[in-house]
Structure 1
Amino acid sequence: MNFSNDRLSLDNIKSLDMVSYLHSLGFDPSKVAHDDYWYLSPLRNEKTASFKINRRINRWYDHGIGKGGNIIDFGILFFKCSIGEFLKEHSGNNTLYHSPVPDKDILEQRQSKITIVKEESLKSAALLQYLKQRKIPLGVASNFCSEISYNISDHHYYGIGFKNDLGGFEIRNPYFKSSSSPKGVTSYDYNNKVLVVFEGFMDFLSYKAMNYGLREKKENFLILNSLSFLDKARPFMEKHKLVQLYLDQDQPGQNATKRALDWGSKYLDHSSLYKEHKDLNDWIINSPQTVSKKIKTAPKP
């Protein structure tokens, strides 16, 4: 679907592809069967996918709560707002719907179970070059990541693995972005009162790179690994006196930031640091020379 710069009408918004919309919010289907896309419900906590979008008719239904409808019906429940507030927020902002959706065969490949074969220290030349391109020193990455060998069906792959608190991995290489089950947040609790929150682990590593070689600050860290875990992670965030948010600058990231800011004055938005960029890592990659030089000259492990 093509979008103009004009304000979207009510009918235009209702016709927006819901699979694309949920992808822009950070939700991808657990399985795809013909026209039916099944998700772990974005509206509540569950372990078995029971939220369905029929892409042919572009309607959703959550079997757990017995409710469904169009994109506006979903938005009102998801953002806990009125229809007027939802329309005001989104009718003039097309960027929310520009997030590309993977082809159906890619989605089906993603739902194939990822089996971790081996975990070892980072050594692959291709992965080390990938880290270099992302301006992440090996000394930083090796403290928090490992090299993962994994299988999808009968195919063997490898990538950078970042473990979550449940034992699953976020997996990255130059051509692939996925995760193994179980999916969850990653937290580092050093018994400090300040918590720094990131959307993805590349932003966390970027933050560490900026401070590499310096005296460690007294901070705890939370990497969501998916915006869908924001509310689930709130109890951990609430234990801290100060929560610094470094979420993405796209619409889903900023919506999540606004939601967290509503929870209280101890939540602070630090995304202005990279306001001209998608996220912290993107800012690091395109950073001023002073920051780039600092990272480049960081001590080697």
Structure 2
Amino acid sequence: MDLGKKSYSIEQVKEMDLVGYLSKLGFSPAKIRNVDYWYLSPLRDERTPSFKVNTRLNRWYDHGLGKGGNFIDFGILYHNCTVGEFLQKIDAYFSFHKPVLQHTKQVIAEPKITILQDCIISSFALIKYLEQRKIPVAIAWQYCREVRYGLNDKIYYGIGFKNDAGGYEIRNQYFKTSSSPKGITTFNNGAKNVSVFEGFTDFLSFLVMHQNQSKKDTDFLILNSVSFFEKARTFLEAHEVIKLYLDRDATGQNYSRYALSLSEKYKDESNLYKGHKDLNEWLVNIGNNSKKQLKQKL
């Protein structure tokens, strides 16, 4: 990285050292375990450290929030600003300070998930999980697989959603993880429009809501992590209209605002599920509310 530059690209900022930046903000790790630095969360009040930075990946995860990501994802949450505003803050900050670069020391690699088998979803627990999320198994069968995977000499299973790079997003009732390589998932139907989702449960929820409509009316892109938004822009901006169904939390809304500032092609559709975290939560609650209203009438 050229330290003489007065402005930094999104890709450059993403790879700046999180541990170094946290130190400059006044946060020190409460404990260090190999490549993992644990902090009292800078994003909320807590007494037990649950905010982790993995120095090998230079990525963070806040277990209390259930959110994580790269340097920019942290910055927009910490400063409660848009991506563009955070880049301006970084430019201003580093006009007085040297950039904190990512650690280059060698570290011990973390255990990796190994996919052992994928098959049609048939486990009772996974079908029940889909039912709880209001997603018919017939729809899930079209896009997901039941995957068995190994981790630390143990075998686990979950609903697997494959990305374009060959890795899986994996979910069950108690846990969510992913296998390498990480990446986006696209469905190209040759449409002029594209619908964008953070995760595959929101994508499946959209399909549930539009069961009687042709799936070829729109292309689909599932980010699998908002940190892939920049890489997804080439595919997205080849379309005439880009409909955003991102989460209604700080990170999702900041990315939506950032996208709207890029082009008039982008449309924020999240008002559909206003009052809910995401599209799937809205779908689940709509179903519950309908049952409550039915009971009241009876």
TM-score by length of 1: 0.65
1:287 maps to 286
Separation (CA, whole Å) in 1 of partners of 2:166 and 2:186? 12
Separation (CA, whole Å) in 2 of partners of 1:166 and 1:207? 23
CA deviation after TM superposition for structure 1 residue 202, in Å: 0.3
SS at match of 1:230: helix
Distance change >3 Å, CA 274–CA 33, structure 1 → 2: closer
Distance change >3 Å, CA 150–CA 15, structure 1 → 2: same
SS at match of 1:277: coil
Separation (CA, whole Å) in 2 of partners of 1:52 and 1:229? 13
8 Å CA contact 2:189–2:216 kept in 1: the answer is no
Q: Structure 2: which 5+ runs fail to align?
A: 1-23, 40-51, 61-69, 71-77, 94-108, 292-298
Separation (CA, whole Å) in 2 of partners of 1:115 and 1:176? 16
Distance change >3 Å, CA 202–CA 111, structure 1 → 2: farther
1:246 maps to 245
Note if 1:80 corresponds to 2:80.
no
CA deviation after TM superposition for structure 1 residue 270, in Å: 0.2
Give the AA of the match of 1:277. Answer: H
Distance change >3 Å, CA 34–CA 196, structure 1 → 2: closer
Distance change >3 Å, CA 267–CA 77, structure 1 → 2: closer
2:42 maps to none
Aligned identity (percent) is 44
TM-score by length of 2: 0.66
Distance change >3 Å, CA 78–CA 141, structure 1 → 2: farther
Separation (CA, whole Å) in 1 of partners of 2:85 and 2:239? 26
Separation (CA, whole Å) in 1 of partners of 2:248 and 2:264? 20
Separation (CA, whole Å) in 1 of partners of 2:290 and 2:194? 23
Distance change >3 Å, CA 260–CA 116, structure 1 → 2: same
CA deviation after TM superposition for structure 1 residue 214, in Å: 3.5
Q: Structure 1: which 5+ runs fail to align?
A: 1-12, 20-29, 40-47, 54-61, 63-70, 87-109, 293-301
2:36 maps to 32
Give the AA of the match of 1:229. Answer: F
1:8 maps to none
Distance change >3 Å, CA 243–CA 31, structure 1 → 2: farther
Give the AA of the match of 2:145. Answer: S
Give the AA of the match of 1:249. Answer: R
8 Å CA contact 1:199–1:247 kept in 2: the answer is yes
Give the AA of the match of 2:116. Answer: V
CA deviations 1:202-259 (Å, max 9, x no partner) are: 0000000111243435100000000100011111111000000000000001111111
Give the AA of the match of 2:174. Answer: Y
Aligned-residue CA RMSD (Å): 3.5
